[in-house]
Amino acid sequence: MPSDPRQAAVERAVRAIVADVERRMARAVVVARGVERLKAIVEGDERPAERYRRENDAALREMAARGNSRDSARQVARLFSSDPHTREMLAQRFRGLRRQKK
């Protein structure tokens, strides 16, 4: 058994693809399911809630480093996104997190 978790995940995905072929599934179904499995490994299988927690922790640390002013939330949001609307939404979320933390 490989020590690298990603390699183990790839091996499990390949075994599942081979099992689909052995079950005589349609080629298009095997390909679609295989791509889905491999894509989850390549992109990471992180759930949105886990990503938000990670982003929130990083943002709170960065805001504290910048002085915890109202503008620091906007500056940190600028690091996370280049889209103006997304930046504004992130800044609001980060300000709310800072209020909850106090």
- Going residue by residue through the chain (102 aa), what tens digit of pLDDT does each one get? 456 777 888 888 899 999 999 999 899 999 999 898 888 888 776 677 888 888 899 999 999 998 888 789 999 999 998 999 999 999 999 999 999 987
Q: Are residues 52 and 74 in the same domain?
A: yes
Q: Are residues 27 and 58 in the same domain?
A: no
**How many domains does the chain divide into?**
2
Q: Are residues 25 and 57 in the same domain?
A: no
Q: Are residues 38 and 76 in the same domain?
A: no
Q: Which domain holds residue 73?
A: 48-101
Separation in Å, CA 7 to CA 14, 35, 43, 96, 101: 11, 16, 14, 40, 39
Q: Are residues 39 and 53 in the same domain?
A: no
Q: Is the pTM of this model over 0.85?
A: no
Q: Are residues 78 and 96 in the same domain?
A: yes
Instruction: Say if residues 69 and 78 touch (Cβ distance below 8 Å).
Output: no
